[in-house]
């Protein structure tokens, strides 16, 4: 398998330049000690394997959870969800949501997904929501 000499830096991954989660994806799959988000060939294979058609729902939801967990604390709290919404609505100012709307949106989400009402979404709650969704598996896919 690839040596440590062959690394793929974040800037070289032009494939995903239109993906708002490109940095998180690199970060999650990277096993380098520098924590700079660079990928060896093995990491790249792991990435493609998780995003492929034949990956199971558990694998996909596990990695999706890690990608959405911006502060890497094992749960999706309000801060994570806010950053997530901002990623999804684009970078420009006119597409962002107002703080009022953001607050409303996040409380709606927490109301729906947070089963034990602790203010965060953990892995099992996330997986429960995802397993009910009909389009998750088909949209969480990268094919070369």
What are residue 121's DSSP bridge partners?
76
CA distance 11 to 79: 26
Residue 75 Cβ vs other proteins, minimum distance, rounded to whole Å: 5
Based on CB atoms, which residue is closest to other proteins, 74 or 79?
74
For residue 26, the minimal CB distance to other proteins (Å) is 14
The residue (of 9 and 131) whose beta carbon lies closer to other proteins is 131
∠ Cα 54 75 7 (to 5°): 55
Query: Where do contacts with other proteins occur on this chain (CB under 8 A)?
Result: 1, 15-21, 31, 42-43, 45-46, 49-51, 54, 56, 58-59, 62-64, 68, 74-75, 81, 84-85, 88-90, 95-97, 101, 104-105, 108-109, 112-113, 115-118, 120, 122, 126, 129-143
φ/ψ region of 140 (left if φ > 0, alpha if ψ in -120 to 50, else beta) reads beta
Complex with other proteins: residue 10 or 21, whichever CB lies closer? 21
Which of 40, 60, 41 lies closest to 50 in space, CA to CA?
60
């Amino acid at each position: 398998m690839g040596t440590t000499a062959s690394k793929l830096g974040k800037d070289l991954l032009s494939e995903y330049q239109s993906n708002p989660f490109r940095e998180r994806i690199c970060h999650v799959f990277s096993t380098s000690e520098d924590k700079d988000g660079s990928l060896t060939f093995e990491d790249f294979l792991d990435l493609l394997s998780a995003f492929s058609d034949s990956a199971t729902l558990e694998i996909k939801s596990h990695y999706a959870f890690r990608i959405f967990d911006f502060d890497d604390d094992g749960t999706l709290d309000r801060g994570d969800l806010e950053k997530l919404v901002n990623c999804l609505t684009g970078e420009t100012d006119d597409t962002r949501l107002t703080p009022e709307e953001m607050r409303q949106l996040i409380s709606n989400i927490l109301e729906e997904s947070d089963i034990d009402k602790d203010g965060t979404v953990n892995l099992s709650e996330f997986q429960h929501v995802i397993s009910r969704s009909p389009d998750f598996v088909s949209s969480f896919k990268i094919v070369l």
